Amino acid sequence: MEQFKVMVTGVDDNIIWHVQTEENVALSHPVYQFLWKEINWMNWKEDYLTAYHNWLDSDDESIYDINAPTNRRMIDAITRVNNRSEMFKIYYWFDIDRDKNPNHIWSICPLSNEPLKDLPVDTHRNNRKVSPSIPLIFPAGR
């Protein structure tokens, strides 16, 4: 089963990346069609980038709040996609403000409070920790 993550970089239209390699996924890949049925991901990306710029411009830290509406909308959409798909699994990539907490190591899911599971060591280090019950993926740390 292919594993993907949703992560906004702002560089291009892509928001879906391969978990294993950190390479972006072509917009023509079926995973985008599955996601589109659950959320207008282009509008969502604009909302995410607005939150990101609010953080840059005014220190609004809602982008780092897992329960912020922008984050929850995508998590909920991914959950629905994962419930329908047997071909792949999608995660939502999340992290804290590394400028404030550079040495933070994720160990507990911020939504379920469950211990995170480690993905194989050959998985890109940005994608090594996953929640067992919620489609969230986290970096291994620095």
pLDDT in tens, 31-64: 999 999 999 999 999 999 999 999 888 878 888 9
For residue 121, what pLDDT is reported? 92
- Please state the domain extents for the chain: 2-138
User: Which helix (H) or strand (E) segment is 17 a member of?
Assistant: strand 16-18
- Tens of pLDDT along 70-82? 999 999 999 999 9
| Cα separation values, 85 from 31, 35, 39, 42, 80, Å | 9, 10, 15, 21, 9
DSSP 58-100: H--GGGG-TTSHHHHHHHHHHHHHHHH-SSEEEEEE----TTT
pLDDT digits (tens, 9 = 90+) for 74-127: 999 999 999 999 999 999 999 988 888 888 999 999 999 999 999 999 999 999
- Cα separation, 135 vs 137, in Å, equals 7
pTM score of the predicted model: 0.93
pLDDT score, position 97: 83
